[in-house]
Amino acid sequence: MKKYSMETAVGVFVLIGLICIGYMTVKLGKVSLFGEDTYTLQARFASVSGLRTGSSVEIYGIEVGSVTSLGIDAERQMGMVTMKVNKGVAVYDDAAATIKTAGLIGDKFVRIDPGGSGELLKPGGTITQTTVPSDIEDLIGKYAFGDVKKEPEKSDK
């Protein structure tokens, strides 16, 4: 009789362990089992250098989503960024997106200024106002090789 109770206890312990492993896999893998709690937005940039799939999307400094794919818009000759944004986060049609760097040499992320014109972007909508910051390597190269233009000195004559 004790043999069966020991086997039952081990079986329950293994079952609980498998449930915990499954739960952690879903949570850490950011997999959604019961429907999506995000919606998709797109943005076109002149350059998406340094941005990667999985990079964060922030509004007001708070992470609200992630970059799901990078591609090329052949018609407009621009980089296309597809992002998933949490449901409940309002992004309007006059929103502006910028690629920023976390710290001096940190990872790139997309910062969205959500706008406020009154028309919400629908899932799959495109943010049309985008800017790409100047590349720090280009600025250093211009400064090092003397391509930076100096302002002419003004005289008080």
* Least confident interval from 30-34, 72-76, 77-81, 143-147: 30-34
CA distance 109 to 55: 5
pLDDT score of 132 more than 90: no
62: tokens are: 């708070």
CA distance 50 to 132: 11
Per-residue pLDDT, 110: 92
Fill in the DSSP letter of residue 74. T
**Section 32-42 average pLDDT:** 76
Domain ranges of the chain: 1-31, 38-133
CA distance 102 to 57: 12
**Section 128-148 average pLDDT:** 74
CA distance 10 to 13: 5
Q: How does residue 30 score in pLDDT terms, banded at 50, 70 and 90?
A: low
